[in-house]
Structure 1
């Protein structure tokens, strides 16, 4: 919604206090490991914008827990595979040679939303070193979640998604749905679906020097994620809590239960 619609969507400004209270009512608690997907515009008019959302998340989870946010930067992918939009063929070598290297502290996110862009360099936040599929984490287990994010199979077993799973974490869908739920990519790897393998590449810094690196991954497919999420919510209503945060519909989802369900669903369906 635009800013006029955001004002009309709420009776009062959505504040840090209100967001924090709504999160607690939803079931978010101190000490949780919380993987957050968000659409700021769905919350209504927020006093302080994305900063208010980040402050509220940190207030509720506290430093005894861990907040994790996807901070992907897919603009750093190989330009030869770009489709939205494609670039002229004669641009590709120039882009590869001139694109600045991925740097966790400064590289912006792409299509991840205002909250993720705000969170990525918040004080005390650690951002993983994957040039395409990074995650940022804050709190007690930030280092363990964000570090050792390997290039190969970037949303698989050596990614922050698997570290959230190991900690019995939850997914917070804040004004967004399962179509953007990155945890379902972890299920893609575990289900060993018949996905096409691909070679990915991006510029990174190594020993202070820019270097183009390549690695193996699978072609990710999120087209059926909304269907998986809907099936999970029907079959496991005990693992999902729905409520409102500001004007947004919010869902708190048991991440390991979702991933385990999606592994079986994908193995049977794809």
Structure 2
């Protein structure tokens, strides 16, 4: 196939409804797009061109580490697109030691403000605030196991397992090293997402997913508020719906024990 260009990407994103002033979070796997002329930077340029000066582009730049977070240099572990966005001079990265986000556009500073005092992916976190602004979610070559806004829905559903760490060794306090050295307590650390694909059926029943094909990648575009609402609905029906079945998954195993107490 011919490599994707900025022009073809812009046309594809706009066909989904990503236009001037759009606020969105992107979860991505660049390799699934196939060849792109100019690589990751071209995809970012196309997205920023679509949303214009009044839009807001957000990507997860999670580190997952518990041994220190250096906001200016700690690399994102959530894909090459997020890492390239983080490195842009106009980018703003939130100060959260394990689940930072990076934003470019109008309102980026306000969105990222004091993230270290909030849950990484819970109520009043940047992804929650983005959804409340009417922001959308673009799943670019990935499925709902990468849809971090589902974690926000878990928080609104007040699941009793939210305080259980992902691993038993995870520290509850992690240093942020920037202009000052702070020890930050982790609030409701996000857990396993391997079972999050179950949310797609409910979202499709609601008719809120717009599908697309960009290059070789399947794409979904949907409202963040719908993901939060669908997650809370699902968890009212089945509190264990988002827990994986892997017996060696510490978080999900301990969460089931909590639910069955």
Give TM-score, length-normalised by structure 2. 0.84
- Asked if residue 202 in structure 1 is aligned to residue 192 in structure 2, the reply is no
- Give the aligned CA root-mean-square deviation in angstroms: 1.7
Q: Which residue of 2 aligns with 1:108?
A: 75
Q: Which residue of 2 aligns with 1:215?
A: 186
What's the offset of the Cα at 1:151? 4.1
Q: Which residue of 1 aligns with 2:88?
A: 122
Specify the SS of the correspondent of 1:116: helix
Larger relative contact order, structure 1 or 2 (CA cutoff 8 Å, min sep 6):
1
Specify the SS of the correspondent of 2:186: strand
Q: Which residue of 2 aligns with 1:253?
A: 222
Counterpart-to-counterpart distance in 2, 1:206 and 1:29: 35
Give aligned pairs, total: 233
Counterpart-to-counterpart distance in 1, 2:125 and 2:8: 33
Unpaired stretches in structure 2, ≥5 consecutive residues: 165-170, 240-261
Q: Which residue of 2 aligns with 1:175?
A: 141
Q: Which residue of 2 aligns with 1:189?
A: 155
Counterpart-to-counterpart distance in 2, 1:113 and 1:258: 22
Change (3 A) 1:13 1:132: same
What's the offset of the Cα at 1:236? 1.3
Unpaired stretches in structure 1, ≥5 consecutive residues: 1-9, 78-95
Q: Is the 8 A contact 2:118 2:125 kept in 1?
A: no
What's the offset of the Cα at 1:218? 4.5
Alpha-carbon deviations, 1:117-174, whole Å to 9, x = none? 1111212110100010000111111112111213442211231111111111100000
Alpha-carbon deviations, 1:199-220, whole Å to 9, x = none? 63322126534x5443342452
